[in-house]
Structure 1
Amino acid sequence: MKNLKALLAVPAAFGAVLAVSGNAVAAESLVEENLVESVAVESVAVEAADTVEAADVMVAEPIQLAQVTSVSELSDVRASDWAFTALQRLVEEYGCLEGYPDRTFRGNRAMTRYEFAAGLNACLDVVIQLIGGGDLTDVRRLQEEFAAELATIRGRTDLLEADVAELEANQFSTTTKLRGQVDAHLVVPFGEADGEVPLLDDDGNQATDPDGTPLTTRDTLEEADATFEYRARLNFDTSFTGEDRLRLRLQASDSASSLVNAGGLASQSGRRNGFEDNIGLDDVYYSFPIGNRISGIIAANSIVTDDFVTSTIVPYDGPAVADVSGPVFYDQFAGGNFGAGVNFAFTDNLVLDLGYSSEASNVNTDDGGIFEEYSYIAQLNFLTDGLFNAAVTYIDGESDELDTPDYTIAGLLNLDFGRVEVGGHYAYSPSDDGDQDSYGLGVTVPDLFGAGNQLGLYGTILPDDEDEPLVVEAYYQLGLNEYFSITPAVIYADNDSGDDSENIYGALRATFNF
């Protein structure tokens, strides 16, 4: 604290120099009177010599002045003077300002070198007293004592600067970041699941081989063995303003052969067009802000309806292993090769999502362009950091798929009680073949036995106009570190068709992020 006061006193010292201080002020005044008398009686040469002698004599015997304790003691200083505050601090806080013998300050007169020396000396005395040692010995001692530590810090700083320079010289890009993720699944089926089950592509449509033949699972899973499946992603994220993002994603995955009557794996993308171990361009989109409360997105590939929404609300969407953990009504309408959306944040809690996607990307396709086969979505979200999160959703569109409903109206809800979250959804989807209602309910325990972990249990009825397939999953996501997590799960599936097509799966997912 004393050293801090000393530092604060330094400006005051220079203020005192510019003002006036000490005995040299009075001495200089008496010297002037003596010089005037000598001019009247002697020649110019003698006058100059006597002036020097008189000055030497008078400085040697200065008049001692009493310390000024308040600026009000100086009769010619007024509160309206532009330097009043500075003079007040020099007198009352630092005590290093004195006036002339007649208690005047004479602020408009020129300063002599004597006054400069006297004022500087007076305030330096105050600085020395504030640092408590009478001189700067302690300061010098501390500098010498910590010389080694200071040198070490200086060396580390130089090393960091060299490392930063090397990174800047060899970085992948000044605007693009490369992020990767690999999901590996070990799935073991138990029990029996008779009958053919259609394979779906990433958009929820019937998958086909290159010749257009629909793909299904084998007729029976009685002798099914454990399977190992993977998905690998490389995301190239580019930002031009710091708030926007251009994403290009390369993706590879094997074809899905597990969880056949449970909707497939959440981290599985190799079913499109029946190709296995394919490497291709997946996401291509650009998201950007439009002002403070509006953001937009334009996509050129692999866009689906839930890509436009701020949140799917339910807490088990993402950590769970089965794909149906994400509300399945989003997948009833096909996505496509073109999409555009906008998000309006009316307040910090109320957000409106709008999106449009089309299977065709140009007018030269057989689909007739981006306005021929399409879907659109509107979702109003109420999002908080507290107990209640909810959304209402409307999806509609035009599609040639036979199982596409006329439209979908859905509601989503999540109640966050701190240690436990309860969430679910309900969707009504009428069609010419009958209503395809779907709903789900689940509970999660976040941060169980560590930050980032999650224990979850949910059940969902898939949209179907006849059998009402049921899927139930219990899982535990365990984050071992920021790069690696494992998620064991048990999944039960029953399509209620009466042909013993039910099954239980044990699954283990390992996720690597880099």
Structure 2
Amino acid sequence: MSKFSKLSLSSVLFVSAVAASSMVPGVVKAQTVDNTATVPATTVPAPDSTVNESSLIRSIGKDPMVNRTAQNAAPETQAQNVTSVSQLSDVKPTDWAFTALQSLVERYGCIAGYPDRTYRGQRAMTRFEFAAGLNACLDKINEIITAGLADKVSKEDLAAVQKLQEEFAAELAALRGRVDALESKTAQLEAQQFSTTTKLNATAIIAPSFATDSNVTLSGRVRLNFDTSFTGKDLLRTRLQAGNVTRFDRVPGILSSTVAGTTATARLGFDTNTDNQFELDKLFYRFPVGNQVTAFVGTRGVDWDTVFDTVNPYFADSDNGAISRFGRYEPFIFRAPQGAGAAINFKFNDQFGLNLAYLANQQFAGNAVGQSGLTNGGYGAGAQIVFSPNKDLKIGLAYIRSFEPGFEIGSNTATLVDVSGSTGSVNSRRPFGAVDTSTDRYGAQLSWKVAKGFAFGGWVGFANMRQESGIGRNNADAFNWAVSLAFPDLFGEGNVAGIIFGQPPKLTSNSIVARRDDGSTTYHLEALYRWRLSKNISITPGVFFIFNPENNSANNTIVVGTIRTTFSF
């Protein structure tokens, strides 16, 4: 005869309900995990059409390294204690185990339910699960006896439990062994893990691309971000990058079939060519100063789109935004000398913010000779005011004073002058040639979410340049503008369709007559559709047209297209 036949019906119901409680996550967990250290875990934000890298870095509240506690919680796996069996929605008075469950809840407190207030008593269990539930109830009974409340435990129940202890002695011993082994493995993992404070998140791009009169290319880019947080509110970002994406501005002859030469307006927004060798792309530290101030300091990758607000949420990101370099954001502001330096963000309230920064050219900020270093080489110092009267409208106004050296960088002869950040005409980039150039840069940005599925944006930028070395002290002005239409969640959540039209930087005046952009005006027209296959994969086919390249109607229209596939993990 089975040992169970010797037990009373109420006792069987009692232990059956106890064992069934082991099926609720949290009961076993309480026995196996409480003594182990919690390892911080973070999740990589899914690609989002309204979130770009700069807003992710700048927003402490949204940073993946900050909300670690909330992210660690798994609501579906957390048991919920109940004080009355009536709180369990799937337990009815007509159920055969109702009385036993009621007794366990009211007398022993051994029962826990799921977060949705269900008990799920019809699930099957293993002998180990039964042993775990039995062990949990034994602990409860011991607590009651220790507290001097032994009279609340019936002799019949104690006898049933004693017999069950004998029946399941092997399983209980094995369970303790499994817990010991789990603790040992946990300790080993803690000793061998990479870091409790660092999270790796990465993106990889694969893209076939083409430009007028060039071969079709197949290239890619990989970025590995090591995000470290020491306090939960700070961020140390270290990025390694490698790629072989073609720069179409370096492909001879794409201006037209009759005019040799190249133009920066043909560049892709994600082009990076390191010959597929990994290099350090970013190294900076961001930390809060009080509740309303965030500070940045770094030696590489402290860019203007990191410390200023691009006010272009749908197209600023090179992974999932515009496919062209010009279409990402206003170039006079966000392509000024950058990379190494410091910045401060003031957030006065939900409507107003002030950003201040001093950034030097990262390529030569660590060089101690010639026109280089933090203060004697290329630099930009500026401020931005951001005004957001409501969640759908944002306006940014920015000013940057910059200096870009022309020659003699250390022992090498090189020029860093590129006022328009490799987005406009040759004359707008170097209005006076390879000579020292200072610039006053002005920019205004707008983003307006008109409706749920439609957003309007754009910018206007102006630059006044002065020659600081060489023969003469000439002056020049340049201008650019763009408007964008975004259609978020078109044909599916996370998708974005976009149209961008504008005028890349053009030199509108120059005291050096031979370097003026006279005659025609270059126009940029771009169309793209970002299709989100999953939270980790998106495909963005897109094309853009450059009309009158280099502000010369004699040049044929340039067409650049790509199918950018982005993996994030």
Cα separation, 2, equivalents of 1:153 and 1:437: 75
Contact map agreement 1:422 1:444 (CA 8 A) in 2: yes
Contact map agreement 1:295 1:342 (CA 8 A) in 2: yes
Report the CA distance between 1:450 and its aligned residue: 1.7
Cα separation, 1, equivalents of 2:497 and 2:528: 6
Contact map agreement 2:221 2:244 (CA 8 A) in 1: yes
Q: Of residues 225, 243, 246 in structure 1, which corresponds to 2:215?
A: 225
Q: Of residues 303, 324, 327 in structure 2, which corresponds to 1:325?
A: 327
| Distance change (3 Å), C-alpha of 1:241 and 1:137 | closer
Corresponding residue of 1:76: none
Cα separation, 1, equivalents of 2:322 and 2:372: 38
Corresponding residue of 1:372: 376
DSSP 3-state at the match of 2:477: coil
- 1:498 maps to a residue whose letter is S
Report the CA distance between 1:170 and its aligned residue: 5.2
Contact map agreement 2:240 2:279 (CA 8 A) in 1: yes
DSSP 3-state at the match of 1:325: coil
Cα separation, 1, equivalents of 2:125 and 2:292: 48
DSSP 3-state at the match of 1:139: helix
Report the CA distance between 1:189 and its aligned residue: 2.8
Cα separation, 2, equivalents of 1:153 and 1:509: 53
Corresponding residue of 1:173: 195
Cα separation, 1, equivalents of 2:101 and 2:479: 81
Corresponding residue of 2:298: 299
Structure 2 residue 428 is the aligned partner of structure 1 residue 407: no
Task: Say how many residue pairs are matched.
Answer: 345
> What do residues 362-401 of structure 1 show as CA deviations (whole Å, max 9, x unaligned)?
4623225311121112111123653311110101122122
| Distance change (3 Å), C-alpha of 1:172 and 1:313 | same
Report the CA distance between 1:424 and its aligned residue: 0.3
| Distance change (3 Å), C-alpha of 1:461 and 1:390 | same
Corresponding residue of 1:334: 337
Corresponding residue of 1:491: 544
Structure 2 residue 424 is the aligned partner of structure 1 residue 419: no
| Distance change (3 Å), C-alpha of 1:472 and 1:150 | same
Farther-moved stretch of structure 1 (177-186 vs 154-163): 154-163
Structure 2 residue 379 is the aligned partner of structure 1 residue 383: no
Cα separation, 2, equivalents of 1:264 and 1:501: 16
Corresponding residue of 1:140: 100
Report the CA distance between 1:482 and its aligned residue: 1.2
Q: Of residues 197, 200, 204 in structure 2, which corresponds to 1:182?
A: 204
Cα separation, 2, equivalents of 1:139 and 1:170: 50
> What do residues 71-117 of structure 1 show as CA deviations (whole Å, max 9, x unaligned)?
xxxxxxxxxxxxxxxxxxxxxxxxxxxxxxxxxxxxxxxxxxxxxxx
Contact map agreement 2:247 2:268 (CA 8 A) in 1: no
Structure 2 residue 403 is the aligned partner of structure 1 residue 398: yes
Report the CA distance between 1:308 and its aligned residue: 1.4
Q: Of residues 489, 494, 497 in structure 2, which corresponds to 1:455?
A: 497
- 2:218 maps to a residue whose letter is F
| Distance change (3 Å), C-alpha of 1:302 and 1:416 | same
| Distance change (3 Å), C-alpha of 1:472 and 1:314 | farther
> What do residues 99-155 of structure 1 show as CA deviations (whole Å, max 9, x unaligned)?
xxxxxxxxxxxxxxxxxxxxxxxxxxxxxxxxx99xx99431666994966875997
Cα separation, 1, equivalents of 2:122 and 2:182: 23
Corresponding residue of 2:52: none
Cα separation, 2, equivalents of 1:299 and 1:443: 34
Q: TM-score, normalised by structure 2?
A: 0.55
Corresponding residue of 1:511: 566
DSSP 3-state at the match of 1:329: helix
**Percent of pairs with identical residues:** 25
Corresponding residue of 2:139: none
Corresponding residue of 1:96: none
Cα separation, 2, equivalents of 1:509 and 1:162: 44
Contact map agreement 1:315 1:414 (CA 8 A) in 2: no
Contact map agreement 1:249 1:282 (CA 8 A) in 2: yes
Cα separation, 1, equivalents of 2:130 and 2:531: 39
| Distance change (3 Å), C-alpha of 1:314 and 1:462 | farther
Cα separation, 2, equivalents of 1:512 and 1:425: 29
> What do residues 461-504 of structure 1 show as CA deviations (whole Å, max 9, x unaligned)?
11121164322110001111111110000110122313324211
Give matches, 1:263-274, under 5 Å.
Answer: 263-270=266-273
Report the CA distance between 1:176 and its aligned residue: 0.5
Corresponding residue of 2:483: 441
Cα separation, 1, equivalents of 2:563 and 2:204: 14
| Distance change (3 Å), C-alpha of 1:387 and 1:138 | closer
- 1:342 maps to a residue whose letter is I
Q: Point out where structure 1 has 5 or more consecutive residues left out of the alignment.
A: 1-131, 191-220
Report the CA distance between 1:279 and its aligned residue: 1.9
Cα separation, 2, equivalents of 1:427 and 1:154: 71
Contact map agreement 1:428 1:436 (CA 8 A) in 2: yes
Structure 2 residue 478 is the aligned partner of structure 1 residue 478: no
DSSP 3-state at the match of 1:430: strand
Cα separation, 2, equivalents of 1:489 and 1:181: 19
Report the CA distance between 1:171 and its aligned residue: 3.6
Q: Point out where structure 2 has 5 or more consecutive residues left out of the alignment.
A: 1-91, 105-110, 112-119, 137-174, 250-261, 406-416, 418-429, 432-436, 466-473, 508-516
| Distance change (3 Å), C-alpha of 1:449 and 1:387 | same
Contact map agreement 1:426 1:438 (CA 8 A) in 2: yes
Give matches, 1:349-360, under 5 Å.
Answer: 349-359=351-361, 360=364
| Distance change (3 Å), C-alpha of 1:421 and 1:363 | same
DSSP 3-state at the match of 1:312: coil
Cα separation, 1, equivalents of 2:130 and 2:325: 52
Cα separation, 2, equivalents of 1:435 and 1:295: 34
DSSP 3-state at the match of 1:278: coil
Q: Of residues 243, 267, 288 in structure 2, which corresponds to 1:253?
A: 243
Farther-moved stretch of structure 1 (322-331 vs 150-159): 150-159
Report the CA distance between 1:507 and its aligned residue: 1.2
> What do residues 159-208 of structure 1 show as CA deviations (whole Å, max 9, x unaligned)?
99959948656543101111111112211234xxxxxxxxxxxxxxxxxx
Cα separation, 1, equivalents of 2:192 and 2:534: 27
| Distance change (3 Å), C-alpha of 1:406 and 1:147 | closer
> What do residues 16-57 of structure 1 show as CA deviations (whole Å, max 9, x unaligned)?
xxxxxxxxxxxxxxxxxxxxxxxxxxxxxxxxxxxxxxxxxx
Cα separation, 1, equivalents of 2:131 and 2:269: 51
Contact map agreement 1:462 1:470 (CA 8 A) in 2: yes
Contact map agreement 1:405 1:429 (CA 8 A) in 2: no
Report the CA distance between 1:299 and its aligned residue: 1.2
Computing the radius of gyration from Cα coordinates, the structure with the larger value is 1
Corresponding residue of 1:204: none
- 2:99 maps to a residue whose letter is V
DSSP 3-state at the match of 1:406: strand
DSSP 3-state at the match of 2:326: helix
| Distance change (3 Å), C-alpha of 1:155 and 1:324 | farther
DSSP 3-state at the match of 2:370: coil
| Distance change (3 Å), C-alpha of 1:416 and 1:255 | closer
Cα separation, 2, equivalents of 1:512 and 1:253: 14
